[in-house]
Amino acid sequence: MSAISREEVANLARLARIEMSDAELDHLSGEMQVILGAVARVQEVASADVPPTSHPIPVNNVVREDVVIPSLSPTDALSGAPASSEQRFKVPQILGEA
Amino acid sequence: MSLNYDQAIEKYEPTLGLEVHVELNTKSKMFCGCATEFGAEPNTQTCPVCLGLPGALPVVNKTAIESSILIGLALNCSIAPFSRFARKNYFYPDMPKNFQTSQYDEPICINGFLDVEIESDEGNKVFRIEIERVHMEEDTGKSLHVGGSTGRIHGAEYSLLDYNRAGIPLVEIVTKIVPNTGKYAPQVARAYVAALRDILRGLKVSDVKMEQGSLRCDVNLSLAPSGSGELGTRSETKNVNSLRSVETAVSGEIVRQANRLQSGEKIVQETRHFLEESGETRPGRSKEKAEDYRYFPEPDLVPVVPDNKWIDELRKTLPEKPADRRKRLQSEWSVPEKEMTAMVNAELLDTVEETVKLGADPTKARSWWLGEISRIANERDVVATELISVTAVAQIINLINQGELTDKLARQVVDGVIAGEGTPAEVISKRGLKVVSDDGALMKAIEDAIAAQPDTAERVRGGNIPAAGALIGAVMKATGGQADAAKVRELLLKHLGQ
Amino acid sequence: MSIRNSAAEMAEALAKKEISAVELANQHYAQIEAVDKDVHAFLHLDKAGALAQAESIDKKRAAGEKLSPLAGVPLALKDVLVQKGVPTTCGSKMLEGWRPPYDATVVAKLKDAGIVILGKTNMDEFAMGSSTENSAYGPTHNPWDLTRIPGGSGGGSAAALAAFEAPLAIGTDTGGSIRQPAAVTATVGVKPTYGGVSRYGLVAFSSSLDQAGPCARTVLDTAMLHQSIAGFDPKDSTSINHAVPDVVAAAKKKDVKGLKIGIVKQLSGAGYQKGVENKFNDAVAELVKLGAEIVEVSCPNFEYALAAYYLIAPSECSSNLARFDSMRFGIRIGDDGSKGAEEVMNLTRQVGFGREVKRRIILGTYALSSGYYDAYYGSAQKVRTLIKRDFDAAFEKCDVLVSPTAPTTAFKIGEKSEDPLAMYLNDIATIPVNLAGVGGMSLPCGLADEDNLPVGFQIMSPAMKDDRMYLVGGALEAALLSKWGKPILDFAPRLAGSK
Ligand SMILES: [Zn+2]
């Protein structure tokens, strides 16, 4: 079980887009250490010959026909928006590219 | 001293890789029933699913799967017996769920190829482009940046988001690395995208309009010293959105990278943006740390497991391959290679074929579309088929063949149709462009001509057939060019006992 | 007719027009008014909407229209299911003030069945927790002892039932969030087979584990509600296209003669409170008296279930909760014109999410990140396979499996909130069911000797055989009722002001 550093937690917070204070990072690094220690137990039995399960009840090929169904009205679509303008969601300036 | 293209290619060997994103032309989106019309009012084609509202769940569009399988089959791929969607996790405001539902390590089609032909110094040359994978994913919304001085992303005061495009099905077609193209790398890249576009158009799975973004190309390129057999560090140039730009992007990157290497600098593995106006690329905003997409199987969707029956049914609907079709049409129409290529390059092969299907003579169909009509289209900077319909052109050609129109008159009919004066028949009647085919009227003009030139008539009677030219000319003049010269000749000679 | 009657009895009185749906809803609102200041089961009451719905049911009934069995009966809806136009917060500050523009499939089905939705119930934020202490809007109190937790995450729904604020409730269960609250409040809750009830409109915590289900005070009421909300939904790709088993008939049958009931060896012993084990064993003895055959089964991989769960659920949640970014809905923090979208997202998520949610997002982000995926998420998915195999083997030997629902009775509010691992242990007996996608029910089996607090009895059925839980549950409930002489909730202390 490798230790998880405060820097690693800070990087995870960055990936997860959560601002964290130093105090939060300190506290969480400690907790992560304990929790990871406990959950790492899965490695004891997860041998190479065991296939992974993603869906508890296996089904395949669930599809819908290519048929248009009515969309939300723009008013409904934008109803929850913290801000909107020109029938669009208004958001703070987007810096950088995806 | 900076290297030019020829110098660059002498010193360095390029390796290509191409990723093409194709928007499928399904009626509804990838995972919801919203419409996919281009150019709709903002946020009128959205629902809880494609807005990523809490609680909403995706269901896969069957046609999108079938289109993807068709693309795979047309590109000689294997169709995976088991494929899945995954989540690609990263935050970006135009992506509603902050993950993209995309296929990752289990794509629907793998290991295909596409042969493309280019003109080389030694004649036509075929390159086999190997396809690594064809996979399904979803498009993002569109952002509009408001305020700031440049109107570009930097300096914008705020952004406005329209999610109409979010969730439109995309297929990504990824090549394996394409080695050994040498100096032809730009042409090979262009020919590949063009061939791919023809295939997709033939399959009718996409509008393939590069200018509307329904076909977008990313170009990966690396250089290594010639003969070294090494693989250099690659750059990825995004959003190359026309065939010409594909060529320019590749040659431009070759020159840029060669000059860097030449001056001892390293190539940075980075994403670059193609600038349509200048044909150059600029670096994307570099990230301090590489993004970690944390892919995992999408738990809200189930595996796609196409059986042989399904695949075979789709295979049966595959159209003829563009290359095969070209060969067939060339022989059916007895057209020289060069003219066939001209039709393909002008993107008029389909149009000519449709015109021929309506009964028009292939040679005339080709010459009208590539000649007069293309000339006008170029003048006005529009697409030929937007000027005049296939039906109108076929009607005009058929009238020429029936002797109802001369080429000269036909040009006037084409002008009239383009000017919006109506169908060919309407233009003919409004402009009074009918060939004078009434034998009575013609005979009157012939008799007048004979009466005016009795000596000439006598020579023709005596067997000097070429002398008839002067009389025919007089008749044509008298009828204002509306007579069919062949007909005039026939009547005149008969009248003079020849 | 009183608010202490069962939903089935209320339905009968409504059918006989002894009471109107409007009167019944008003009686429940009066009880909510009287006790909810102490219990805090509800986050939002939709009185206008509920009464309008009740009135329309009454009109239809007066006009002689054919109505579904539970038409006019009130219900409390867990605040994790979206209801068009009604605030839906998931117990999070992040969604404060959000009114969804659409109905969850479960909500649409409730409306179609004429069930009157009184309001939205409290829960641990985004269903992450076992005590409802993680709600951004304050904890819910257990009606048996207001200083104790009502279980979680669906503590609001369970407490509303136990406090007679509603006879029916909807919960969701990712690792025990229906069953553990049922256990500690002496109510009944069922997690159906995964895919049995649509997840469309259920705000996702862990997509491959989440399942909405019915909650009530009796097994029959639970079955009737189950029947109303279950069934294939084309909007949910993981929904099972399979006939819903006749759970109502099973609940009424009360015959377990010859049935093979398996006791899972691994779900007892260390960590289980003595009083819990005693009451569980007493209930097993009742089943023996009723003619059931007891088999001991071993499920060795259950030992790893908790670890696998605390990797899979956080991993999926780290992705599911990414959409809460303040761009399209929910609160937005720090947008003062000077900050970019990324910074505003970061600040919003810092303020909008509570501690437990952040903990799990970070844990899940770690478990999925490159270099750690195979060791954590990948290994957990393998454990899931092993647990499924354990269930398969066990169900070859018996018709249902049984265990205590939770290792302890309700603990004190605040007692475990600083120790995440201790909190996670509450779900040790319920989690294997979610990992395997099978069915699970909790029903009350008595009060623990040491603290006089309710103990839950868990029944697990194979996938798509949900009727077996109701068969065994119905029979056991009847036997225990005749043993006790009155419903278990009649042993609970009376809440101040209760009607
Ligand atoms: Zn949509």
Per-range mean pLDDT, top range of B82-86, B351-355, B370-374: B82-86
* Weakest mean pLDDT among A14-18, B287-291, B316-320, B468-472: B287-291
The confidence score (pLDDT) of residue B452 equals 86
Q: Residue C34: what pLDDT?
A: 98
Alpha-carbon separation of residue C368 from B120, C371, C396, C432 (angstroms): 49, 8, 35, 22
C337, part of any domain: no
Residues of C marked active site are found at 78, 153, 177
Q: What percent of chain A has pLDDT over 70?
A: 95
Cβ distance of B52 and C342 shorter than 8 Å: no
Q: Identify the band that residue A55 occupies on the pLDDT scale cut at 50, 70 and 90.
A: very high
How many domains would you assign to chain C?
1
Q: How far apart are CA B36 and CA B39, in angstroms?
A: 9
Q: Which of A61, A87, A95 sits opposite B43 (nearest CB)?
A: A87
Element (H, E) at A84: strand A84-85
Q: Which residue of C has its CA nearest to A33?
A: C363
Band (pLDDT 50/70/90 cuts) for residue C203 is very high
Q: Which of C366, C390, C461 best tests the A interface by mutation, with the highest count of A CBs <10 A?
A: C366
What distance in Å separates the CA atoms of residue C426 and residue C176, rounded to the nearest whole number?
Answer: 9
What pLDDT, on the 0 to 100 scale, is given for residue B268?
A: 87
What is the average pLDDT across C8-27? 98
Does C61 fall in a domain?
yes
Q: Please report the beta strands in C83-174, taking only residues with DSSP state E, as ranges in sequence order.
A: 116-121, 168-172
Subunits with 3+ C-beta pairs closer than 8 A to C: A, B
Cβ contact (<8 Å) for B53 and C207? Answer: no
> How much of chain A is in helix, strand and coil states, percent to nearest 5?
40, 10, 55
Q: Where are the domains of chain B?
A: 5-310, 320-431, 439-495
Higher pLDDT, A98 or B405: B405
CB C370 within 8 A of CB B296: no
Q: Is C407 part of any domain?
A: yes
> Confidence band (pLDDT; 50, 70, 90) for B436?
low
Mean pLDDT for chain C? Answer: 97
CA distance C292 to C379: 38
The pLDDT of B169-189, averaged and rounded, is 96
Residue A98 confidence (pLDDT) above 50: no
Structural class in CATH, domain B439-495: mainly alpha
Please say if the pLDDT value at position C1 is more than 90. Answer: no
Taking CA atoms, what residue in B is nearest to A65?
B62
Q: Which pLDDT score, from 0 to 100, does residue B479 have?
A: 78
Domains of chain A: 6-45 (1.10.20)
- Which chains lie within 8 Å of chain A at 3 or more CB pairs, if any? B, C
Spatial distance between the Cα atoms of B403 and B483, rounded to a whole number of angstroms: 9
Which CATH number is C176's domain given?
3.90.1300.10
pLDDT category at B289 given cuts 50, 70, 90 is low
The phi, psi pair for C293, rounded to 5°, reads -105, 130
The identity of residue B335, as a single letter, is: V
Assigned domain for C433 exists: yes
Rounded to a whole number, what is the distance in Å from the CA of A80 to chain B's nearest CA?
9
Listed in sequence order, the residues at least 6 apart from B415 whose beta carbon sits closer than 8 Å to its beta carbon are none
- In terms of Cβ atoms closer than 10 Å to its own Cβ (0-12, 13-18, 19+), residue B224 is middle
Q: Enter the tokens of residue B104.
A: 């990752």
Distance B32 CA to ligand 1 centre (A): 5
The arithmetic mean of pLDDT across residues B28-55, rounded, is: 97
CA of B44 to the centre of ligand 1 (A): 10
- Per-residue pLDDT of B48-98, as tens digits, reads 999 999 999 999 999 999 999 999 999 999 999 999 999 999 999 999 999
Is 60 exceeded by the pLDDT of residue C174?
yes
The partner residues of A92 in beta bridges, in order of sequence, read B158
Distance B33 CA to ligand 1 centre (A): 6
Distance CA B482, CA B485 (A): 9
Judge if ipTM > 0.90. Answer: yes
Q: Which residues pair with B21 in a beta bridge?
A: B172, B216
Contact state of A53 with C388 under an 8 Å Cβ cutoff: yes
pTM: 0.89
pLDDT value at position A1?
Answer: 46
DSSP B267-292: PP--EEEE-TTTS-EEEPPPPSS---
CA dist A63 and B83 (Å) reads 14
In a domain, C311, yes or no: no
- Residue A13 to residues A6, A10, C366: CA-CA distances in angstroms? 10, 5, 10
Cβ-based contacts of A94 with chain C (< 8 Å) = 340-341
Q: How far is B98 from chain A (nearest CA, A)?
A: 10
Bridge partners for B272 per DSSP = B237, B283
Chain A 6-65, residues with CB within 8 Å of chain C CB atoms: 8-9, 12-13, 15-20, 24, 28, 31-32, 34-36, 38-47, 50-57, 59, 62, 64
Nearest to B273 by CA among B288, B292, B252: B252
Query: What's the pLDDT tens digit per position in C323-375?
Result: 999 999 999 999 998 999 999 999 999 999 999 999 999 999 999 999 999 99
Half-sphere exposure at residue C414, Cβ-oriented, CA atoms within 13 angstroms: 3
Nearest to C357 by CA among C95, C146, C104: C95
Work out the pLDDT band at C187, boundaries 50, 70, 90: very high
Range of C273's domain? Answer: 5-300+381-489
Does the structure show a pLDDT above 70 at A2?
no
**Which residue in B55, B157, B301 is closest to C237 by CB distance?**
B301
C429 burial type by CB count under 10 A (0-12 exposed, 13-18 middle, 19+ buried): buried
Q: Which residue has the higher pLDDT, B129 or B149?
A: B129
pLDDT of residue B255: 94
The answer to whether residue B203 scores a pLDDT higher than 90 is yes
Q: Is C346 on the interface with B (CB under 8 A)?
A: no
Comparing C429 with B363, which gets the higher pLDDT?
C429
Q: How far is CA B430 from CA B333, B390, B436, in A?
A: 34, 21, 16
Can you tell me the distance from the alpha carbon of C140 to that of C121, in angstroms, rounded to the nearest whole number? 9
pLDDT digits (tens, 9 = 90+) for B358-370: 989 898 999 899 9
